[in-house]
Amino acid sequence: MINITKIHYFPGRGRAESTRWMLAINQIEFENIPIKTPEMLSTLRATGKLPFDQMPLLEINGMCLSQSSAMVRYLARLGGYYGDNNQDELWCDMIAGAVADFAETAMQAAFQASKTLAVKSLQERFKKFGPLFENRLEDNGLCLCTGKNLTFADILLAESLNSYLEWIPDILNDTPLLNTLYNKVVNIKGISLYLNSPQRYPMPDSNYVIDVARVLQRALPSHMLDSNRFIQDSNN
């Protein structure tokens, strides 16, 4: 029996997106299982498939994987995207950590009170990290994060830049190496097929913010109308 690879997550990119890019580079077909309601999340929880009771969940090769950073690394090992030696692995891990910090600002952008505030936060974050990533590419050479071959660090970096570019299209104007790396990655066959496929969710907007709050039964950001609409009233 062939196990279909599945990602269970809100109907959007969020913390599942880096795993989707890693599946794409490995050309592993997958199905998005969108969790759209609290009931769907309860049903998923009741299956016992969530090792730490959190999404995303990646079902692959008969396993249920939790923690997006572990999923990314599993897929990196599977496809040979973890560098060629210890030093590459170390750089991959360091860059993946820095990219996680950098990408968090992009993940929070749709939750901001206005586009102006979102763009401002992204510009500030890029001002800190952009030149450092650019220096790293220059130091390593070949427009790669580490070593002589593409690694998951390059994929994660390109994925985070993709989000920054959606908000600020000219953000890579002064970082030519980052721009080259980005274009190289998005034009790799598996990635480009994924980005142009129906599996790819659109840029997160207020609908995504509402989906997340509804599923988790959490408050919406305070600037949104009726921000407590998904909070259960304990008196009822």
Ligand X SMILES: N[C@@H](CCC(=O)N[C@@H](CS)C(=O)NCC(=O)O)C(=O)O
- Specify the DSSP element, H or E, that contains 99: helix 86-109
Residue nearest to ligand X (CB): 54
Q: Are 44 and 9 in contact (CB under 8 A)?
A: no
Please identify which residue in the block is written with the tokens 């299209």: 169
Closest approach of ligand X to the CB of residue 17, in Å: 11
Q: Are 104 and 160 in contact (CB under 8 A)?
A: no
Closest approach of ligand X to the CB of residue 67, in Å: 5
State in Å, rounded, how far the first CA of the chain is from the last one: 47
In the complex with ligand X, the residue whose CB is nearer, 14 or 147, is: 14
Q: What is the DSSP letter of 174?
A: T
Closest approach of ligand X to the CB of residue 160, in Å: 14
In the complex with ligand X, the residue whose CB is nearer, 104 or 138, is: 104
In the complex with ligand X, the residue whose CB is nearer, 53 or 124, is: 53
Residue type, 31: E
In the complex with ligand X, the residue whose CB is nearer, 50 or 119, is: 50
Please identify which residue in the block is written with the tokens 């070949």: 142
Closest approach of ligand X to the CB of residue 169, in Å: 27
Residues near ligand X (CB under 6 A): 14-15, 53-56, 67-68, 216
